Amino acid sequence: MLAWRAFKAGQMTPIEADNPAPTIRRAVIITALGLAQILSWGTSFYFLAVFANPIARETGWPYAWVVAGVSLGLVTAGFISPRVGREIGQRGGRPVLAGGAMLFAAGLALIGASQNLSWYFAAWVVLGAGMGIGLYDGAFATLGAIYRKDARGAIAAVTLFGGFASTVCWPLSALLIEQFGWRGACFVYAAIHLGIAAPVFLLALPKSVPAASSNAADRNTRVRLEKLETPAFVLLASVVTIGASILALMGTHLLHLLESRGISTASAVLFGMLIGPSAVGARMIESFAGRHYHPFWTMAASVGMVAAGAFLLTRDIQWAAPAIVLYAAGNGIGTIARGSVPLALFGPSRYPALMGRLGLPIMLAMAAAPFIGAWAFEVGGSAWMIAILNGLAFLNVALVAGLWLSSRALRQRGA
């Protein structure tokens, strides 16, 4: 079972095999990256869900401008992601992820100290650089560099941790704000990144450069795609980008969407609480069952469940709960597919660099989607929002079908 295998102790990584050094247990590496995902997502993408109102109240800055900070961070993350992937492929994740934790610390400290909107936005640029390194794509690239073809189980295990980011950090953020104010809470989070996360990366991850990336000439050629591979990569990038758009739309506007359909705010919050358990539950099932089939089928199941959930949102309101469960479960295993399908199709040597390339459109889509959703609500209400969700979800079903056809030779080659 992949979930158990991911935590098995005493396995020597490919890096260690080529570069004799004290072994680092698989469970240690996965736990370090998994806990870092909780902290990284909780202090970036999910950060303003708790911090935005206190910041706006104290500073007098417009709420919309405060919330725009995370979009600026995502744009920054997108533009640096390709470079991050290449660096991890060349140097390993240890120094890169440790540097990302330091950027998180600096960005959060600057947000806590910000005195005007210009300062605040500059802080989000710094934090966005940390996001480009420290969110899923950087973690997946690191696992691919360490475990190569055997990284799928580790990727699934890390996503199990990441699914608890909002569950852990939202109440923790509320507690810190209550005790220290929003500025003090930013400084506490900065201290955790600097004093705990960065040292953990340095201690828990292998020191050595991946042997496959040690030759400078190879490093420049391995990221190139063959003619046969290009259509499959473009389709894959389209699928994961649309999936990220749907995630950002639902994450930003779900409560508003439910309320506009006649559900009370309290009930909408309860419905929203279905997301975390549904996503984590689906990831656990995938972790146990995934070794029996190609990761492409995880992606197919993901887009199918998201499309089914979007369709149920067009029905009567009593279908809201199953719609959210299907969406969340599909999105949950979609994260695993985003990390494992590129590894299966294109192999481990180019995997870190290709994950970096995928990070650019993903982050840009996540930055733009909330504004598209807000525009849809303004001009057409919930009907337009639901139409956009369905259009994107069913387009992804078609794109996955195209990916199946275009990647047939790649799957056979990797079998």
Reported as a single tens digit per residue, the pLDDT across 95-136 is: 999 999 999 999 999 999 999 999 999 999 999 999 999 998
Q: Are residues 215 and 152 in the same domain?
A: yes
Domain boundary among 222, 240, 258: 222
Produce one character per residue of 108-121: b if its CB has 16 or more CB atoms within 10 Å, e if not: bbbbbebeeeeebb
3-class secondary structure, 270: helix
Structural domain total, the chain: 2
Q: Are residues 196 and 129 in the same domain?
A: yes
Q: Are residues 146 and 241 in the same domain?
A: no
For residue 351 the two structure tokens come to 């995997």
- CB of 89 closer than 8 Å to CB of 15: no
At residue 63, the pLDDT reads: 84
Q: How many helical (H) and strand (E) elements, i.e. helices and strands, does the chain have? A: 19, 0
At residue 219, the pLDDT reads: 46
**Residue range 315-341: mean pLDDT, rounded:** 90
- CB of 129 closer than 8 Å to CB of 103: yes
Q: Are residues 91 and 213 in the same domain?
A: yes
Q: Are residues 212 and 275 in the same domain?
A: no
Query: Is residue 380's pLDDT more than 70?
Result: yes
CATH number of the domain bearing residue 305: 1.20.1250.20
Q: Are residues 298 and 367 in the same domain?
A: yes
Domain interval for residue 64: 1-222
pTM above 0.85, yes or no: no
Residue 10, Ramachandran bin (φ over 0: left; ψ between -120 and 50: alpha; else beta): left
Q: Are residues 218 and 235 in the same domain?
A: no
**Residue range 324-347: mean pLDDT, rounded:** 90
- CB of 45 closer than 8 Å to CB of 128: no
Query: Is residue 251's pLDDT more than 80?
Result: no
Cα torsion through 158, 163, 164, 170, rounded to 10:
130
**Residue range 331-355: mean pLDDT, rounded:** 88
DSSP 141-208: HHHHHHHGGG-HHHHHHHHHHHTTHHHHHHHHHHHHHHHHHHHHHHHHHHHHIIIIIHHHHHHHS--S
The one-letter code for the residue type at 387 is: A
Q: Are residues 202 and 258 in the same domain?
A: no
Domain boundary among 161, 192, 222: 222
State the distance between the two ends of the chain, measured CA to CA, in whole angstroms: 20
Domain boundary among 167, 198, 222: 222
Query: Is residue 2's pLDDT more than 50?
Result: no
Q: Are residues 330 and 381 in the same domain?
A: yes
Sort 233 into a burial class: Cβ within 10 Å, 0-12 / 13-18 / 19+: buried
Q: Are residues 195 and 59 in the same domain?
A: yes
Query: Is residue 309's pLDDT more than 90?
Result: yes
Residue among 85, 120, 119 nearest 100 (CA):
85
- CB of 176 closer than 8 Å to CB of 113: no
At residue 382, the pLDDT reads: 83
For residue 92 the two structure tokens come to 């390993």
For residue 407 the two structure tokens come to 């990647």
Query: Is residue 217's pLDDT more than 70?
Result: no
Q: Are residues 231 and 183 in the same domain?
A: no
Q: Are residues 374 and 280 in the same domain?
A: yes
